Amino acid sequence: MDLFVFTSTLSPTLLYTSLCLVIFTILFLFFTTKSSSKNSTPPPKLPPGKTGWPIIGETLDLLLIGRKGHPENFLHDRMQRHCPDIFRTSLFGDSKMTFFCGPTAHKFLFTNENKLVGAWWPKSFNKIFLSEGTSALNSLATSSASVQVEESKRVRNLISGFLKRDAIQKYIPVMDAVAKHHIENEWAPKGDNVVVIDMAKKFTFELACQLLLNVTDSKQVAKFDDRFRNVIAGMMSVPIDFPGTSFNRAIKDANLIRKELLTLIKERKMAVQQKNKDSIIIRDLLSHLLVTPDEDGKLMNDVEIADKIVGQLIAGYDTASTTITFILKYLAENPHFYDEVFKANVTCWSVHSTHKNPAFFPNPEKFDPTRFEGDGPLPFTFVPFGGGPRMCPGKEYARLVILVFMHNLVTRFKWSKLIPNDKIIFKPVPFPEGGLPICLHPHKN
Ligand code: HEM
């Protein structure tokens, strides 16, 4: 029996977090078991629900509802219509999906990863993310669940070596320098009209290119940026691979990105080989993966490295920048919190990630970071980075990037919104429709 599950609570914020999985790596968590039937009438043990149109299933519904600004309604409608805890649907070319909803589902999934459930991607994502003709990856895609689990653990351990808290703290000076440079050269000159979403994306992507690839050339960064935008747009489009479609463009651009990365990897490899092993200083994830063997002493091959780097860049593409955008929005709307942040000289990532289910977070629409004080939210109700063995490997990186950036911005400027009631739209991550234009007010001293 194939059963495909996805977890979410009732809240839009959490839905956003979960939707991030689809986009950036990244980012839906899908769990599978086997399904048996293609009949329209489900066998008795399948959850209630509809699989919609052939191939596209209910994808259009999800995208349209997201564009109207309420992607959570895709869940709410079906939870009401079919069942509040579990329902079946079909998205992004996969007809056997089941959504699990609420904290109990979170607990179940996080604690049963690799036991009762395993992570899995929609077929359409594989077309974008797996290199063509790579026997290792193609065989992995069709290999047994236990091989996939082991492989995923191996890759995760290698990547976490670079992204874990202790390791990533070494890069705070780089983050700080890039943030200062960015604010000075991009934000300050446009002071009376800074479109936050664009600037935040530019900053987080430039920093990711530097810390993950050691690429600092602005032209190369801009070229990567254009291609990544297309890849992300294609990931969330109807998966029709035909010239001119977003999906087709995403496949082409993902291939171009990998090709460029392979060239970069070859150059870097040669540079590494010319050096004495002990004199190599690791400054980026790519170099880390080139020289760090797994537990069996095996190094990743070039294609694997390129694929993994693409995954990290996609996973981190919109997530941190959207978070920065919303922190700025909420701080502009709630100046008393700005003052506290300024006085404390520190900001906290979690203030942004409010959960909107009143059953767990009273008055969920209100921006109230104090809700995270004291004992904080109930277990499994606040899971912005997921949980269990697949918890976001970029969470320490994201937290630090956001903290360092906010520290630098808050210590130089206050700001006010230029569009008072900018609508929030979801594409599929949430962002203010006008991009959050703000006016910066430098501190007097
Ligand atoms: C505010 C920023 C971010 C949020 C809210 C976020 C959230 C998440 C969530 C909810 C997951 C799924 C976890 C699970 O399945 O249990 C995830 C997965 C992932 N994230 Fe993040 N993330 C953020 C930033 C980043 C960044 C900056 C990177 C890369 C540097 C990154 C890399 C990844 C990767 C590679 C995965 C897939 C993990 C796997 O499947 O094993 N994330 N993220």
Dmax (CA) for the chain in angstroms is: 70
- pTM check: above 0.85: no
Q: Count Cβ atoms below 10 Å from residue 147 Cβ, excluding itself.
A: 12
- Expressed in angstroms and rounded, the spacing between residue 157 Cα and the centre of ligand 1 is 15
- Expressed in angstroms and rounded, the spacing between residue 235 Cα and the centre of ligand 1 is 16
Residue among 213, 207, 179 nearest 282 (CA): 213
| Residue 96: φ, ψ to 5° | -120, 70
Report the pLDDT value the prediction gives residue 40, as an integer from 0 to 100: 52
State the closest ligand 1 atom to the C-alpha of 387, by its place in the atom list counted from 1.
16
What confidence tens digit (pLDDT) does each residue in 377-394 have? 777 778 888 888 888 899
Mutate to test the pocket of ligand 1, among 18, 228, 385 (most ligand atoms within 8 A of CB): 385
Ligand 1 within 6 A of CB of 27: yes
- Expressed in angstroms and rounded, the spacing between residue 148 Cα and the centre of ligand 1 is 19
Q: How far is CA 92 from CA 95, 285, 303, 357, 439, in A?
A: 8, 30, 25, 27, 40
Instruction: Determine the Cα–Cα distance for residues 308 and 388; give it in Å rounded to an integer.
Output: 20
- Expressed in angstroms and rounded, the spacing between residue 285 Cα and the centre of ligand 1 is 16
The closest residue, in CA terms, to atom 17 on ligand 1 is 392
Ligand 1 within 6 A of CB of 158: no
Ligand 1 within 6 A of CB of 131: no
- Intervals of the chain under pLDDT 50: 1-39, 135-142, 345-354
- Expressed in angstroms and rounded, the spacing between residue 392 Cα and the centre of ligand 1 is 4
CA torsion sign for 9, 61, 364, 196 is positive
Q: Where are the domains of the chain?
A: 2-158
Report the pLDDT value the prediction gives residue 371, as an integer from 0 to 100: 77
- 261-270: buried (b, 16+ CB within 10 Å) or exposed (e) per residue? beebbeebbe
The closest residue, in CA terms, to atom 16 on ligand 1 is 386
Report the pLDDT value the prediction gives residue 11, as an integer from 0 to 100: 39
Which pair of structure tokens corresponds to residue 239? 């998966």
| Residue 99: φ, ψ to 5° | -90, 130
Ligand 1 within 6 A of CB of 437: no
Instruction: Determine the Cα–Cα distance for residues 90 and 50; give it in Å rounded to an integer.
Output: 8
Ligand 1 within 6 A of CB of 314: no
Mutate to test the pocket of ligand 1, among 112, 203, 319 (most ligand atoms within 8 A of CB): 319
Instruction: Determine the Cα–Cα distance for residues 43 and 164; give it in Å rounded to an integer.
Output: 44
The closest residue, in CA terms, to atom 9 on ligand 1 is 385
Residue among 391, 390, 393, 388 nearest 160 (CA): 393
Mutate to test the pocket of ligand 1, among 11, 16, 25, 171 (most ligand atoms within 8 A of CB): 25
Instruction: Determine the Cα–Cα distance for residues 103 and 389; give it in Å rounded to an integer.
Output: 17
Ligand 1 within 6 A of CB of 26: yes
Ligand 1 within 6 A of CB of 430: no
Which pair of structure tokens corresponds to residue 9? 């609570």
- 110-134: buried (b, 16+ CB within 10 Å) or exposed (e) per residue? beebbeebbbbbbebbebbbbbeeb
Report the pLDDT value the prediction gives residue 42, as an integer from 0 to 100: 54
